Amino acid sequence: MTQISKLAVIEPGAQIGTDVAIGPFCYVGPHVEIGDGCILHNNVTVVGHTRLGEHNVFYQNTVIGEAPQDLKYQGQPTETIIGDRNVFRENVTVHRGTELGGSRTVVGSANLFMVGTHIAHDCIVGDGVILANQTQLAGHVCVEDGAALMALVGVHHFVTVGKFSYIGGMTPVHRDVPPFMKFAGDPNEVRAVNEEGLKRHDFTSEDIDVLKRKHRQLFRNSCSIAESLEKLKSQPEHNEHVAYLCDFMRKSCQGRFGRYLEAKRRDTRADRRHRMPAEVRED
């Protein structure tokens, strides 16, 4: 049975599924949909046009669907969409999308967001992702399936974090992170294949060995990434994972500042300027 504390505020229009638990001092806005089996511990806030899937758990002081921290945002009814079986620990914040950024922030399923993590407007987060304590995603970031970002990682806007990658703690991330790799340091670099992470996701030893060879060819020689990729064209890409890695790196090299999504951004400088409030525009 659904259990809603008498001290919670559920606005008319909110849609609450079955077997949902909502603790004291929670606030659920009028345009929110909460799927079956979700648990909202005390002091959780869910607002905006937000859809929560099934069996998500939200710990104290989590805020989902609030307005983006973007000066261009003018109050449009943008969305926050969250899948199933996610865990949001204390003080996690997820902001809704912006009109120019695609109008939605999307979080997949089976993710763990540890204390104080932030998912900004227009981010796309896949499945099976881990964001450790105080990790911060700027706007328009894409985190692919199975990626693990350790504590205090800061990710620049429009960065893509490749699937099954690992980012070491306290790493500032300004460019795309290759899939299947360990990425760390300041200045940061690709350190090695994320071997332990790949084993946990049932990659075969043969797949891992091939990725290790491609890692050496791409990231451990005197050539640029673009030159290394050109040389790899004549070599067989032995499996789907290597093909994905090479395709990812080709796109990244074509992007601005090492960020593939940066080249696809929809807003112009003039657009950004005119959408800002008059009091913050430059003369």
- The rounded distance, in Å, linking the Cα atoms of 150 and 215 is 22
Q: What is the per-residue pLDDT for 231?
A: 83
Catalytic site residue 207? no
For the chain, list residues with pLDDT below 50: 283
Options 139, 168, 197, 255, the catalytic residue: 139
- The rounded distance, in Å, linking the Cα atoms of 146 and 181 is 12
Contact between 71 and 276 (Cβ < 8 Å):
yes
Catalytic site residue 139? yes
Residue 188, beta-bridge partner list: 185
Q: What is the per-residue pLDDT for 45?
A: 99
Options 70, 122, 145, 176, the catalytic residue: 122
Q: Which domains does the chain have, with CATH numbers?
A: 1-140 (2.160.10.10)
Q: What is the per-residue pLDDT for 272?
A: 67
Catalytic site residue 121? yes
Options 49, 55, 121, 241, the catalytic residue: 121
pLDDT tens for 106-137 read 999 999 999 999 999 999 999 999 999 999 99
Q: What is the per-residue pLDDT for 279?
A: 62
In this structure, are strands 188-193 and 181-185 parallel, antiparallel, or unpaired? Answer: antiparallel
Q: What is the per-residue pLDDT for 269?
A: 74
- The rounded distance, in Å, linking the Cα atoms of 65 and 94 is 6
Q: What is the per-residue pLDDT for 281?
A: 57
Q: What is the per-residue pLDDT for 283?
A: 40
Q: What is the per-residue pLDDT for 223?
A: 87
Can you list the pairs that 27-31 forms with residues at least 24 positions away whose Cβ atoms lie under 8 Å?
29/65, 31/77
Q: Two tokens at 7? A: 């001290």
